Homo-oligomer: A and B are copies of this chain.
Amino acid sequence: MKEDQTRRRRPRSDGRKNRERLLETARTAFGSGEIDIPLDEIARRTGVGIGTLYRHFANRDALIEAVYRDELNRLAAAATRLAETHAPVEALRAWLNLFVDYIATKQVIAPALNSLIGGTDAIYADSRTVLTAAVGGLVTRAIESGDIRPDIEPVDLLCALGGVSNYATGPGWEPRAKRLVDVLIAGSRPEG
């Protein structure tokens, strides 16, 4: 696993591009709720053979995992950035809104969330850590600054937002999810 990095020859530029494009197709498909999309179809939409898909991703799970990991890394990076540039509550609010944006078109986060609490799937262990760390840090800062109650469970905020974006896929759902961000933050105030 780790040594793969070391050992693996530099992929041809073609190969890299294909990997990227397959990920993109998968991300889009999963995001549109086509969770059961056949791998054949992903390959077809990407314009490559099914064998090429398998060259890049050992099996269905590997592809799904890659999509997750990708998304989560972007979110984690954003958390760090926001913490450095905003006041505690606003950083949290901004990141939650970003979180909404991400899961907006890509419900891919779901399975990662799924394992946030009792997940047994070892594959998501990393993902869990990454995401938990991201919200956790922002919430801690907001607790320390006295803007939200200390008994708030960071992960639950994500779950709640995940719920909205998950169940509400129609047009106009996004503003509503963002309004929920405000409700959640308001409800989490010390006096709240």
Instruction: Say yes or no: A160 contacts B169, CB within 8 Å.
Output: no
Docked CA distance A29–B125 (Å): 25
Identify which of B155, B161, B166, B187 contacts A192 (C-beta below 8 A): B187
One of A10-18, A71-79, A113-121, A136-144 at the interface: A113-121
Q: Does A58 contact B (CB under 8 A)?
A: no
In the complex, what residues of B have CB within 8 A of residue A159's CB? 160, 163-164, 166-168, 180
The residue of chain B having its C-beta at the shortest distance from the C-beta of A36 within the complex is B36
Instruction: Say yes or no: A117 contacts B187, CB within 8 Å.
Output: no
Instruction: Say yes or no: A164 contacts B160, CB within 8 Å.
Output: yes
Instruction: Say yes or no: A164 contacts B156, CB within 8 Å.
Output: yes
Identify which of B158, B160, B169, B180 contacts A118 (C-beta below 8 A): B169
In the complex, what residues of B have CB within 8 A of residue A180's CB? 156, 159-160
- Number of chain A residues whose Cβ lies closer than 8 Å to a Cβ of chain B: 44
Interface centre among A4, A158, A171, A187 (most CB of B within 10 A): A187
Docked CA distance A177–B169 (Å): 22
The distance from the CB of A97 to the nearest CB of chain B, in whole angstroms, is 15
Q: Does A176 contact B (CB under 8 A)?
A: yes
Starting from the known contacts A118-B173, A119-B169, A152-B183, 15 additional A-B residue pairs (CB-CB under 8 Å) come to A110-B167, A116-B168, A117-B167, A117-B172, A117-B173, A118-B172, A159-B164, A159-B167, A159-B180, A160-B161, A162-B167, A182-B187, A183-B184, A183-B188, A189-B192
